[in-house]
Amino acid sequence: MKLEEFQAKKLFGEYGIPVPDGIMVTTAEEARSAAEKIECPVVVKAQVQAGGRGKAGGVKLAGTPAEAYMAAESILGMDIKSFRVERLLVDPAVSIAGEYYVGITIDRRKKLPVMMASASGGVDIEKVAAETPDQIFFQDINPERGLRSFEARQIAFLLFPDKKKALAAASIMMKLWDCFHGVDASLVEINPLAELEDGSIIALDAKIVLDDNAMFKHPFMEEMRLPTPSEKKELDAKSHGLSYVQLEGDIGCMVNGAGLAMATMDIIKHLGGTPANFLDIGGSSSPEKVIHAMELLVSDSNVKAVFINVFGGITRCDDVATGLVAALQEIRTDIPPLVIRLTGTNEEEGIRILSDFGITALKDMTEGAREAIRLAGEGGCS
């Protein structure tokens, strides 16, 4: 779960990391009053679960409350990396003397948390990483001992030759580790970690990605979830007993069992197609579940064909067939061409139910995947 900047800054603040004292707003009018409260100049910042807002025009300085209003008007509703801007952070603006980078994530190869830091922070850190990787310093972190103060100081002095600034940065790094560990993050990032004209060091931007597998340990964090449209769909699916993940392809998949769902996506890919989703309808396939699953697939306008792949074990093919017929009768919208592969327990019965309804079921998975790819291709051309 990704947090937006205003949420991440709040958590950073709780861990003692210096952050500007800003106000989150949702309208231009509120941005104006926030600017009056904070005292100008302010910086008006788009809140989306993505970086690169500065370059996209989503971060604007405002010298007066009226300017803050105008900046907010122009940023609200903007599309940044396919996120629509619905919230803004109004922060007191500061004079920046230097922009640095600090982040902590998990190094999967080393199976350790790692801190990364650079004196070349700011909006071009990806370019630094790609072109001059030697400008990024790494510090492995022993997860049991945590980041040690001498390790933080070593890195901080590589960034700031000045002792006072280096110690301030080292203290922020220690708190950043406490935060990473405390909230069970998979990523925490400060970019820029800014040196101000008065020599102080503060976090001007904040990014936190929380590990969903640890959310049960932090129930209050669930309240911070700001689901994106595709996450809303996934949560809705979950409440109906389906596990659904939207992808970018054009073949909708409906499968019973997570393993078979993965195998179905693999075979589609292998044969040159692209799955539009992962969808596991689970063991028991009541008509309601199948109807809901079908609605999910149909609501994705990228879907050009649907491949239903069922292996009857505990799930009986006749139940799935009955559910499917009910779903097709209920859903009135245009349904993309379907391919059904049905095999296993009670398959003869299932196939008969479907053929009474005018649907031919296949028994072979590869054949089914190939047919779905063909139909998606035809759909794409028309």
Residues found near Mn ion in the complex (CB under 5 A):
191, 205
Amino acid symbol at 155: I
260 with 287: CB under 8 angstroms? no
How many whole angstroms separate alpha carbon 213 and alpha carbon 184? Answer: 9
Q: Choose which of 1, 17, 43, 294 interacts with ligand GDP (CB under 6 A).
A: 43
Tell me whether residue 205 or residue 318 sits nearer to Mn ion (CB atom): 205
CB of 300 to ligand GDP, least distance (A): 29
By CB under 6 A, name the one of 123, 187, 260, 335 that touches ligand GDP.
123
CB of 193 to ligand GDP, least distance (A): 10
Shortest distance, position 180 Cβ to ligand GDP, whole Å: 19
Residue 190 CB, nearest distance to ligand GDP (Å)?
9
Tell me the CA distances in angstroms from 304 to 291, 300, 327, one per residue in order.
Answer: 18, 9, 18
Q: How far is the CB of 123 from ligand GDP (least distance, A)?
A: 5
SS3 108: coil
Q: How far is the CB of 46 from ligand GDP (least distance, A)?
A: 8
The residues that are catalytic are 101, 189
CA distances from 241 to 71, 280, 285, 290 (A): 43, 9, 10, 11
Place of tokens 């019965």: 349
Contact with ligand GDP (CB under 6 A): which of 29, 37, 52, 182?
52
What mask, x for binding ligand GDP by CB under 6 A, covers residues 167 to 206? ------------------------xx-----------xx-
> Within 10 Å of residue 197's Cβ, how many Cβ atoms?
10
Give residue for tokens 């005292």.
39
Instruction: Look up tokens 């904070």; give the residue.
Output: 38
Among 70, 78, 94, 247, binds ligand GDP (CB under 6 A): 94
What are the DSSP calls for 302-341, one per residue? T--EEEEEEEESSS-HHHHHHHHHHHHHH--SPPPPEEEE
- Nearest by Cα to 117 from 198, 164, 177: 177
CB nearer Mn ion, residue 46 or residue 317: 46
Question: 261 Cβ partners below 8 Å, 6+ apart?
Answer: 253, 255, 278, 279, 280
Tokens 């005018």 label which residue? 358
Which residue number is nearest to ligand GDP in terms of Cβ?
Answer: 54
Q: Which does 165 bind (CB under 5 to 8 A by kind): ligand GDP, Mn ion, none?
A: none
Distance, CA of 251 to CA of 273 (rounded, Å): 8
Contact 110, 73 (CB under 8 A): no
Q: Are 100 and 159 in contact (CB under 8 A)?
A: yes
**How many positions of this chain bind ligand GDP (CB under 6 A)?**
18
Task: Work out how close the CB of 41 gets to ligand GDP at its nearest, in angstroms, rounded to a whole number.
Answer: 8
Q: Which residues pair with 194 in a beta bridge?
A: 99, 202
Exactly one of 53, 233, 316, 370 binds ligand GDP (CB under 6 A); which one? 53
Residue closest to 342 by CA, chosen among 372, 305, 316, 323: 316
Secondary structure letter of residue 3 according to DSSP: P
Q: Is 208 in the site for ligand GDP (CB under 6 A)?
A: no
Give me the 54-93 binding string for ligand GDP, x by CB under 6 A, dash otherwise: x----x-------------------------------x-x
Binder to ligand GDP among 18, 51, 350, 368 (CB under 6 A)? 51
Tokens describing residue 136: 């990024």
Q: Could you say which of ligand GDP, Mn ion, none residue 94 binds, taking C-beta under 5 to 8 angstroms by partner kind?
A: ligand GDP
Measured from the CB atom, the residue of 44 and 305 that comes closer to Mn ion is 44
Q: Where does this chain bind ligand GDP (CB under 6 A)?
A: 43, 45, 51-54, 59, 91, 93-94, 96, 99, 122-123, 191-192, 204-205
